[in-house]
Structures are given as structure tokens and as C-alpha cells.
Amino acid sequence: MESRLKTRPWLLLGVGILVVSGVWLGRQPLREHIRNAATLANNSPPPEVVAEMIELATDPPAALLAAWHSGKIIHRETAVHELGLLYRPDQTIPSELKSILLAATLDPDLNVREAAFGILQTRKDLALTALAAAQLADADSAVRLLGLLHLGSAPASVGVPLVIGLLDDPELPVATQTLKLLQQWSGQNFGARQVDAVAMTNPQSGLPEYPAAGVARIQAAADQARAWWHVHQAEFPAVKLPLPALTSRAVVPAIDFQLRTLSGDAIRLSDLRGKVVLINFWTTWCTACVGELPELVALQNQNVKNFKILGVSLDFVPDDDGDQKPNPATIRPKIARAIQERGINYPVLLDEYNEVGGSFNGGELPTTIIVDAQGNIRRRFVGARSLRVFAAMIQEAGKPAPQATASTIASVL
């Protein structure tokens, strides 16, 4: 009995050492778990916080997957950027992450698409041409332009029949980039100049306009290209480019929110379920934002069934150089004046604490989100669009979302 009593202190000491060691060794995993959980739960963390979560993780690919599958805008954008940093161009990307990268080229968020194409371009990925071609029939002219910008490495036998139809594109930058590619592939100079597709802001209307001389030059160049195509068409038979299976293409639900108008009326996004909703983040001091207001007013005037525009003012949020929060007493009259002077015919909501703008990463202005009748994000993009483009995207959002299946891109897009 006495000997057993003598060994007990040593036993307790050993147990204590084990406990302390376990706590010490488990401290880092616990910290990582807490950090990751907090980052994933946050709807609007700074992108560098999400990047840090991935880079410092014990298993960075798993952390990247968690960020992507969170369905949150900032997390998903950061995940794609980090994917390009995790693997050098000469390294093989694991299949699950590669699936995400390929699916990202058809993502609702244009920022995600651009990042994914940048990675594929750097890696000279074999799927680049087919995925770029898949952009050419998109309702958004900026997406069509993205596809054209990543087709330059394709051989003429593939590229020419893919893009020839875009000579008739109603958006001048798309037609101009098409001409530049055709000049590259054909060895002909049709007279197209990139500078002719640079829009200037009309000082009276605030709307972007193209110089008449530039428009005329592009039209003349397009006529020359069509004449060349008429002679050489038989040399470029139709091609088909198989797309990879896009098994990771996921639905992105829009985060619900409620904001108030100047008059105090509360509007909640989920109450508009059953309608296509266009959310436009803007400010009264943003030239591009104010410039596209006539397009949005005209879009609302079209009285599209089951459609609603919500303008979200971020005037209360300091810009990047702002040291202090703007004074609400001066901001409210500015917004009211803009609504009246610009004839805004849809609700303007006040995001005084940047809660909604932060969740949708709306800091770069103007940012537009299009949500379908089921409450899923169908589009997210930065920058103004024409009425024609807005109308096409709204019509598209009224149809069922495309499924994540393999398909074939034909030459007649």
C-alpha cells in the first residue's frame, strides 16, 4: 500500500505533462480552426484575410476548397486568385481544384472568370481555346470581349471561323477586337485600330460615346474583312471544340438583406423572390455610375414582367482616401437631388454601414448584381453597360440557369 502511494505523485505529474503538452501541441490547430471558421462565417472580410486563411492553413488546398464552396463572393474570388499562387505553371493542379478552375471560366462573377482565364493563359492550358470560345455567345459584351482576348493563341484554322460572326457585333469594342484577331490570323491589314474603340464621356449627358471618325473606320475595316472572308471562306471549315466536364459549376445564392429608402421604407431582397432583381451599387460622385443611370431608367421603363431594379447608394461609405465617414446630413440631400434630377424611377436604398456593399464586394463602382427569381446570382460585374446589354442579361436571367454538363462549342456561335 505504501509503495503505491509513493508512485502516485509521479503518475499525476506525468498526466499533467501530457495534458500540458496536448494543449501546447493542439494550440496551433485550434487557432487555425477558429480563424478559418470566423473567416468563412464573415460575409464581407477583406480579401487579404481570406488569402491569409488559405496561405497559413495546414492544408491550403482544403482551405481553398472551403472558401470556394462557401458561396460568398469575396471568398470565391480570393480562392481562384490563390489557386494561381499555390501551383506554379509547371505543376499539376489536383483534379478537384482543376475542376473549380475550369468552372470558374463560366462563373456568374465576371471577376472570377477573368482570374480563371489569367491562370489558364499563364499555364498554356489545352482547354483555354474551347473555354474562350464559350464566351463568344454571351449576353454581356464584356464577356464576349474576354473570350476574344484569350483566343489569340489559337491557330487561324480554329480562330477565324469562331469569331467571324462577331464582325456584326453591336458593341464597337467587340467588333474591333474581332478585327484585330482577323488581321493577325489572315496577315491582312483591314485598318482596324484599338484606339477607335475607346469611348469618351459626353460632358453634357455623362454617357460614353465613340468618336464618329473611329466608328466609321471600324465599319470600313469590317467591310474589308467581310470581303476577305467571302474569298477565303472555303479555306476555313467549321470546327467543334469539346468543352471539359464542368462538374464544379455551382449555384451561388444571393445573401439576403434589408435596407431603407430615403423615406424610411424597408425593402428586403427575399421579399422580391419570383422576380429578376438587378442590384446596382452606385454613388452620386461616381461619374461612371451617374453615366449609366439613363440606361437603368430606360430599362425600368420597359416594364418587363417580374423584374425589379434596386439602386444601392454607397455615398455614406468613405472612399479609399477618406479619413472620416461622410456626414449623413449632407449626403441625404445629395441623393434626393440626384434621384430627382436623373429621373430615377426605381427604389434607391441607403447602405449606410456598407453591410450590403461589403457582402457583394461592391466597392469598385458601379457594381451590378443580377439575381434570378430563385434568389441565385446570375451575374456580377463592374462597370457600366448599355441598355441593349442590360436587357439581354435580364432576359437570360428569366430562364433556367445552365447546368454543369459537358457540351460542344460549334463554330456558329
pLDDT of residue 321: 59
- Shared domain for 305 and 237, answered yes or no, is no
Q: Cα separation of 172 and 141, whole Å?
A: 9
Q: Cα separation of 117 and 30, whole Å?
A: 36
- Shared domain for 290 and 179, answered yes or no, is no
- Residue 310 sits at φ, ψ, to 5 deg, of -125, 115
Domain count, the chain: 2
Helices within 87-135 (DSSP H only): 95-104, 110-123, 128-133
- Shared domain for 316 and 387, answered yes or no, is yes
Of 172, 207, 242, which closes a domain? Answer: 242
In a domain, 269, yes or no: yes
CB under 8 Å to 360, separation ≥6 — which residues?
A: 73, 255, 279, 281, 367, 369, 380
Of 199, 216, 242, which closes a domain? Answer: 242
pLDDT of residue 405: 44
- Shared domain for 234 and 266, answered yes or no, is no
Q: Cα separation of 190 and 224, whole Å?
A: 6
- Shared domain for 182 and 283, answered yes or no, is no
- Shared domain for 393 and 285, answered yes or no, is yes
Place of cell 431594379: 309
- Shared domain for 266 and 375, answered yes or no, is yes
Q: Would you say how long the chain is, in residues?
A: 413
In a domain, 34, yes or no: no
In a domain, 20, yes or no: no
The whole domain housing 289 covers: 258-397
In a domain, 127, yes or no: no
Q: Are β-strands 307-313 and 348-350 bridged in parallel, bridged antiparallel, or unpaired?
A: parallel
Buried b (16+ CB within 10 A) or exposed e, 372-395: bbebbbbbbbbebbbbebbbbbbe
C-beta neighbour count of 362 within 10 angstroms: 26
CA atoms within 13 A on the CB side of 127: 23
In a domain, 80, yes or no: no
Of 189, 215, 242, which closes a domain? Answer: 242
- Shared domain for 177 and 224, answered yes or no, is yes
**What CATH number does the domain containing 307 carry?**
3.40.30.10
- Shared domain for 216 and 178, answered yes or no, is yes
- Shared domain for 208 and 276, answered yes or no, is no
Beta bridge partners of 368: 280, 381
In a domain, 176, yes or no: yes
pLDDT of residue 326: 77
- Shared domain for 358 and 282, answered yes or no, is yes
In a domain, 43, yes or no: no
Q: Find out whether 119 and 84 touch, Cβ atoms under 8 Å.
A: yes
pLDDT of residue 7: 43
In a domain, 277, yes or no: yes
pLDDT tens for each residue of the chain, 413 residues long: 444 434 455 555 555 555 445 544 456 688 889 999 999 999 999 999 999 999 999 999 999 999 999 999 999 999 999 999 999 999 999 999 999 999 999 999 999 999 999 999 999 999 999 999 999 999 999 999 999 999 999 999 999 999 999 999 999 999 999 999 999 999 999 998 888 888 887 766 556 788 888 999 999 999 999 999 999 999 999 888 887 766 555 689 999 999 999 999 999 999 999 999 999 999 999 989 998 999 999 999 998 889 999 999 999 998 765 556 678 789 999 999 999 999 999 999 999 999 999 999 998 999 999 999 999 999 999 999 999 999 999 999 999 887 644 444 443 33
- Residue 98 sits at φ, ψ, to 5 deg, of -65, -35
- Shared domain for 269 and 237, answered yes or no, is no
